[in-house]
C-alpha cells in the first residue's frame, strides 16, 4: 500500500509539483491526502499574494537570497513561503509524535481503546499503529499481523494492510494479514474488503481469504475469533500458516521434515499449554515431533 512517511522530501516535492503522475495519483487516493490538501489550501493566502513591484519579483527569481532593491526589504512573498514551510513541518512533526504503535510479544495480546471509543485487540507478534492527533480526520489503523475490532459507528473506519484494505462504518470484524496469507472475518454488520484481486462486501458470519494464488469466501458460525479467548482455530488452512501461529504464540521454531505446503489443517490449539498444542496439531496430521531445547521443535516422518 502507498506510504509516503519514510520519504522526508515527499511533501516538499508535492508542494513544488515535482511528483510523478503515478506518485500524485497514489497520494490523492490515500487516506492522508484530504488532511494535507486542507493544510495546503489554508496556506494559499500566504504563498500567492499579488506582486505590486514587478522588478522585485524578477530579482527574486534571479537570486532568491537577495530580496531587496536599494534599501534591503524582505518580501511578504518570502514570509509566506516561510510560514507555509513552518506550518507543514509543524504538522508533519505532530503527525510523527502522535503515532501510536501496539506490538505485543510472543504469546501476548494487547487490548486498546481507540480515540473514538472503538476497541482493538492485537494478537501476538502483530503490529498495529494509528495516529491519535488526526484520528477525527481519518480513522485509520495500519496492521501487520492479526487484530480484532469493535468499531463505534461514525465516519469511515479503515484497516490498511499490505494485502488489502478493510473499510467499515461500525461493526465487529477480525483481520489477519501476514506474509502471503490474508483473511477478513465479519462478525457483525458489513465489511468492505478491497485487494488487488477482488472487492467483496462481507456480512456477519462470512470470511474472505487470499493466500498464494487462491481466493475464497467462507461461511462461519463463530460469534468472535477464538484467539481472544486464548485458543487459535483454523478451518482448512495450509499447515505452514498454522506453524507460524504456533511460533507466534510460543516463541518456538520448527526444523526437520517440515510438512508439504499443500497439507491443510482444521482444528484448534490452546495458548497456555505448548506440548498439548503441538500434540493437537501434529497428532491429527500423524506427524511425530520432539523438543530440541526449549525453543526448537524437530518434526519427523
Among the listed ranges 35-49, 168-182, 223-237, which one has the minimum average pLDDT value?
35-49
Q: Are residues 126 and 141 in the same domain?
A: yes
Contacts of 278 (CB under 8 A, 6+ apart): 246, 269, 289, 297
Q: Are residues 211 and 286 in the same domain?
A: no
Residue with cell 522530501: 9
Q: For residue 222, what are the β-bridge partners?
A: none
Confidence grade of residue 232 (pLDDT, cut at 50, 70, 90): very high
State the pLDDT at residue 7. 67
Number of domains forming the structure of the chain: 3
The number of CA neighbours under 13 Å toward the Cβ of 224 is 13
Q: Are residues 132 and 203 in the same domain?
A: yes
Nearest CA to 249 out of 224, 225, 267, 231 is that of 231
User: Tens of pLDDT along 181-202?
Assistant: 999 999 999 999 999 989 999 9
> Which grid coordinates belong to 42?
489554508
User: Tens of pLDDT along 100-155?
Assistant: 999 999 999 999 999 999 999 999 999 999 998 889 888 999 999 999 999 999 99
Q: Are residues 93 and 157 in the same domain?
A: no
Q: Are residues 207 and 236 in the same domain?
A: no
Q: What residues make up the domain containing 79? A: 10-97
pTM above the 0.75 mark? Answer: no
State the pLDDT at residue 2. 59
Confidence grade of residue 225 (pLDDT, cut at 50, 70, 90): very high
Please state the rounded mean pLDDT for residues 60-78. Answer: 53
Q: Is the pLDDT of residue 49 over 50?
A: no
Task: Identify the three-state secondary structure at position 270.
Answer: strand
Q: Is the pLDDT of residue 46 over 50?
A: no
Averaged pLDDT of the chain: 83
Residue 141 sits in a domain whose CATH number is: 2.60.120.1440
> Which grid coordinates belong to 92?
508533519
Confidence grade of residue 157 (pLDDT, cut at 50, 70, 90): very high
CA dihedral sign, ordered 64, 68, 72, 74: negative
**Listed residues 192, 219, 246: the one ending a domain:** 219
The share of the chain scoring above pLDDT 90, in percent, equals 54
Residue 244 sits in a domain whose CATH number is: 3.55.50.30
- DSSP letter, residue 98: T
The share of the chain scoring above pLDDT 70, in percent, equals 76
Q: Is the pLDDT of residue 176 over 60?
A: yes
Q: What are φ and ψ of residue 221, in 5° steps?
A: -110, -5
Among the listed ranges 1-10, 31-40, 76-85, which one has the minimum average pLDDT value?
76-85
Q: Is residue 62 part of a domain?
A: yes
Q: Is the pLDDT of residue 259 over 80?
A: yes
Amino acid at each position: 500500500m502507498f506510504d509516503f512517511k519514510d520519504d522526508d522530501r515527499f511533501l516538499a516535492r508535492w508542494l513544488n509539483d515535482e511528483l510523478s503522475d503515478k506518485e500524485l495519483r497514489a497520494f490523492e487516493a490515500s487516506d492522508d491526502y484530504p488532511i494535507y490538501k486542507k493544510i495546503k489550501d489554508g496556506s494559499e493566502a500566504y504563498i500567492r499574494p499579488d506582486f505590486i513591484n514587478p522588478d522585485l519579483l524578477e530579482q527574486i527569481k534571479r537570486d532568491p537570497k537577495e530580496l531587496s532593491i536599494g534599501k534591503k526589504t524582505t518580501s511578504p512573498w518570502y514570509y509566506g513561503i516561510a510560514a507555509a514551510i513552518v506550518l507543514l513541518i509543524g504538522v508533519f512533526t505532530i503527525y510523527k509524535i502522535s503515532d501510536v504503535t501496539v506490538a505485543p510479544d510472543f504469546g501476548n495480546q494487547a487490548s486498546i481503546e481507540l480515540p473514538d471509543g472503538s476497541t482493538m485487540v492485537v494478537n501476538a507478534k502483530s503490529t498495529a499503529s494509528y495516529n491519535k492527533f488526526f484520528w477525527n480526520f481519518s480513522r485509520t489503523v495500519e496492521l501487520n499481523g492479526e487484530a480484532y475490532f469493535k468499531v463505534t459507528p461514525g465516519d469511515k473506519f479503515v484497516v490498511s494492510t499490505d494485502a488489502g484494505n478493510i473499510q467499515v462504518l461500525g461493526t465487529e470484524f477480525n483481520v489477519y494479514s501476514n506474509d502471503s496469507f490474508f483473511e477478513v472475518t465479519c462478525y457483525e454488520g458489513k465489511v468492505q474488503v478491497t485487494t488487488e484481486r477482488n472487492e467483496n462486501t462481507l456480512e456477519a458470519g462470512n470470511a474472505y481469504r487470499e493466500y498464494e494464488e487462491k481466493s475464497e469466501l467462507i461461511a462461519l458460525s463463530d460469534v468472535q475469533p477464538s484467539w481472544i479467548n486464548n485458543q487459535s482455530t483454523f478451518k482448512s488452512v495450509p499447515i505452514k500458516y498454522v506453524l507460524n501461529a504456533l511460533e507466534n504464540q510460543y516463541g518456538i521454531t520448527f526444523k526437520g521434515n517440515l510438512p508439504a505446503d499443500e497439507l491443510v489443517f482444521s482444528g484448534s490449539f490452546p495458548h497456555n499449554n505448548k506440548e498439548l498444542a503441538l500434540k493437537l496439531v501434529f497428532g491429527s496430521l500423524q506427524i511425530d515431533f520432539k523438543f530440541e531445547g526449549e525453543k526448537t521443535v524437530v518434526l519427523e516422518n
